[in-house]
Chain A
Amino acid sequence: MDPTNADLVLDGNAVAGVLAEIFGDDLTAVLGTCPDCGKRAELATCRAYTHAPGIVLRCSACDGVQLRIAWTPRGYRYEARVQVDGRFPASG
């Protein structure tokens, strides 16, 4: 049987390398606050949707988008909604 959408969901650990590449640092242990529900948790606990034209990290409590990333030949583009101690700019 083909894997379902639920089987394919990973977590922030799976995208640690991509995050390090974009933001220059391993962010998986960094605490982020969800802008939609206020849940505060390590980025490693976000649900990661990686079977897509990009990567979407969602809050483990409310599924709100924390971070969206797309890779284009010109480099990574992203939009960050999660609040991480003002560490990274909202988009790039």
Chain B
Amino acid sequence: MTTALEWQLATVTAIRAETAKVKSFTFALPGWTRHRAGQHYDIRLTAPDGYRAQRSYSIASEPERTGEIDLTIERVEGGEVSVFMHEVVAVGDRIEVRGPIGGYFVWEADMAGPLLLVAGGSGIVPLMSMLRHRAATGSTVPARILYSSRTYDDVIYRDELDRLKAAGDSFEVFHTLTRAQPAGWTGFARRIDGRMLSDISQAFGAKALTFICGPTPLVESAANGLLELGLKAERIKTERFGPSGK
């Protein structure tokens, strides 16, 4: 049995473009173990001369999908692993992975809520795993997500989020587009601030169980903003991602 600490050889069985800079990779895992939404896997690449590069990527898929996982990876300019994943990896390739890892930034349906999610850019990935898990279990825990992206075309999982919202079981999506908005846009159109956080969190109040994920400045600003609104620190969990490509 493969433990989370051991490297295993995963096979890429599908590659899907989510946006111009973001792709999702499906990995079949011979040593698949059920993960928890919010956890991640490490990917390791080895060159013929032994040089290695290793990065962590959050699991995008729900634990209910057995035998395989999806990792959604943003192409970061100059990023050793992400550029390789985007430009070289093909279906059928084998990649070393290790996981699932992470016992802190996780949500399971029996942890209840209400669930408040705040994402910036590729920070949506672990939160999407939580939302997919929520849907797969038929959970009716009220949930809402505030998702910050640069433009409409940068919104990852845009159609799927719309579908989940339309399914109408206590789930709401709030987008903010910080750089450019399409004609007729009615969502938020600025960086996340205290007023926006107040608007979207009011319905849940201090009972909310909050997960924030994205670039460090966004995460810290959102966490501080929610604390100022009276949410308790113990009910807010954060995961910082490094800078994305600009």
Residues of A that sit less than 8 Å from B by CB: 1, 3, 6-14, 16-17, 20-21, 24, 26, 28-29, 42-45
Contact = CB atoms under 8 A, between A and B. Distances in A.
A3 B246 CA distance: 10
Contact of B56 (A1, A14, A26, A29): A14
Nearest to B237: A44
Judged by DSSP, the binding face of A is helix
B184 interface: no
B242 A28 contact: no
Contacts, number: 66
Contact of A7 (B56, B103, B217): B217
B5 A13 contact: no
Contacts of B104: 12-13, 28-29, 42-45
6 contacts: A6-B217, A8-B216, A16-B101, A28-B104, A44-B103, A44-B239
Given A14-B56, A44-B105, 11 more contacts: A7-B217, A8-B216, A13-B102, A13-B239, A16-B40, A16-B56, A21-B5, A26-B102, A26-B103, A28-B104, A28-B105
Interface of B: 4-5, 40, 42, 56, 98-99, 101-105, 215-217, 237-243, 246
Contacts of A8: 216, 242-243
A24 B5 contact: yes
B239 A11 contact: yes
B196 to A, nearest CB: 21
Closest 4 CB pairs of A and B: A44-B104, A29-B103, A3-B243, A28-B104
Contacts of A13: 40, 102, 104-105, 239-240
Contact of B216 (A9, A20, A29, A43): A9
A22 B4 CA distance: 13
A44 B219 CA distance: 14
B99 A28 contact: no
